[in-house]
C-alpha cells in the first residue's frame, strides 16, 4: 500500500510542476518566433535602404548583390544584401 501512496505523491508533484514547464516552453517558442520575425524585417529594411542609397536603381542593386555573392558564393541572398549595403556605404563614405 505504501508503494501506491508514494507513486500517487510523485504523480501529484509532477502535475504541480507541469504548468511551469509549459510556461517556459511557451516563452522559448514566442522568443524564437519574434526573433525570426525581426530578422526577416531587417532584411527587407536593408534591401529598401540599399535601393534608396542607389537612387532606386534596381539594376544597380541587383549587380551589387550579385557581386557580393560572387565574392563569397556560400552566403545567402539576405547576407549579400547586407554586405552590399555596407560596402556601398563604406565606398561612398556614408
Length of the chain: 94
**In whole angstroms, what is the distance from residue 34 CA to residue 58 CA?**
30
Q: What's 72's DSSP letter?
A: -
Q: Cβ-count burial of 64 within 10 angstroms (0-12 exposed, 13-18 middle, 19+ buried)?
A: buried
Note the pTM of the prediction, 2 decimals.
Answer: 0.54
* pLDDT per residue rounded down to tens, the chain (94 residues): 455 555 666 666 666 777 788 888 888 888 877 776 545 455 578 899 999 999 999 999 999 999 999 999 999 999 999 999 999 999 988 7
Which residues, including other chains, have CB under 8 Å from residue 13's CB and lie 6 or more apart? none
Q: How high is the pLDDT of residue 45?
A: 85
Amino acid at each position: 500500500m505504501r508503494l501506491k501512496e508514494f507513486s500517487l505523491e510523485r504523480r501529484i508533484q509532477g502535475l504541480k510542476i507541469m504548468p511551469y514547464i509549459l510556461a517556459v516552453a511557451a516563452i522559448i517558442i514566442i522568443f524564437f518566433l519574434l526573433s525570426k520575425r525581426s530578422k526577416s524585417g531587417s532584411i527587407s529594411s536593408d534591401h529598401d535602404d540599399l535601393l534608396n542609397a542607389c537612387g532606386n536603381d534596381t539594376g544597380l542593386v541587383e549587380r551589387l548583390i550579385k557581386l557580393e555573392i560572387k565574392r563569397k558564393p556560400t552566403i545567402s541572398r539576405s547576407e549579400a544584401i547586407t554586405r552590399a549595403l555596407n560596402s556601398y556605404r563604406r565606398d561612398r563614405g556614408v
